[in-house]
Amino acid sequence: MMRLAVCLLLPLSACLVNLDFVQYNPRHCSTLTAVDCEDKDEEIDKICAKCEDDYNFTEVGLTGEVTRLELNLDPDPATGEAVVNDAYFITGSGGDLADVTIMFSQGNYGGIEHYLHLVENIYPSGANLFIWEYRGYGKSSTQSTPNETLFMADSMAAYNLLITELNSRDLPTDQVVHFGMSLGAIAAIEIARQHPGKGLILQSS
């Protein structure tokens, strides 16, 4: 994937986000075959979760309380149907980062399941985690691929849902770390530009 996010100067208000060259590469749960799961040699490469299955967070060491949230997105432009995806808030293990929440925006393939190995590495920090499902990816309620406008709108909707959840838990809303991997870096940069929070982490971007 081409470099899509170019930071000219600090602060983040000087960052340009360009999605013109994005080739969205979703894998929806309804399209998975043996090639995606049984035929993969490495666990890290497997995408196995069926649409009716729950993601297994404890299997990768995410032992905190998991709360599934409804992420209401703009309607599917092709069908006009509502799009309601899953997002997950996972309580951290506490310590110095007990009031910090990491908002993780995934890469450009599969769904949440494909990135749990990376989230597993974040969890020992002690911070809370917020993970959200992209439109058309994973177990999304629609198979339609997003466009630039929808992707950015979905990203902000996910952030707003996180803020609502933090308020309901009496957790600080200014202690959010935006973590974006690959395609997710675009979401993380745009959200951080508008809501700087605690920090910004970009990987493979």
- Domains of the chain from N-terminus onward: 34-203 (3.40.50.1820)
pLDDT at 204 (0 to 100): 77
3: tokens are 């470099």
Side chain identity at 12, as an amino acid letter?
Answer: L
Which two three-digit tokens encode residue 162?
A: 């996180």
How does pLDDT run across 164-176, given as a tens digit for each residue?
A: 999 999 999 999 9
- Tokens 């999605």 correspond to 19
Residue 140 CA: distances (Å) to CA of 17, 39, 42, 76, 160: 24, 24, 25, 11, 18
Residues in the chain: 205
Write down the pLDDT at residue 205. Answer: 59
- The string of pLDDT tens digits covering residues 17-64 is 445 456 677 778 888 788 877 777 776 677 777 888 888 888 888 888
Q: Per residue in 116-148, pLDDT tens?
A: 888 888 888 999 999 999 988 888 888 887 888
> Residue 110 in contact with residue 35, Cβ under 8 Å?
no
Average pLDDT, the chain: 83
Higher-pLDDT residue of 93, 179: 179
Question: What is the three-state SS of 29-90?
Answer: HHHCCCCCCCCCCCHHHCCCCCCCCCCCCHHHCCCCCEEEEEEEECCCCCCCCCEEEEEEEE
Question: CB–CB of 177/197 below 8 Å?
Answer: yes
Q: Kindly state the average pLDDT of the residues 147-163.
A: 94
pTM of the entire predicted model? 0.85
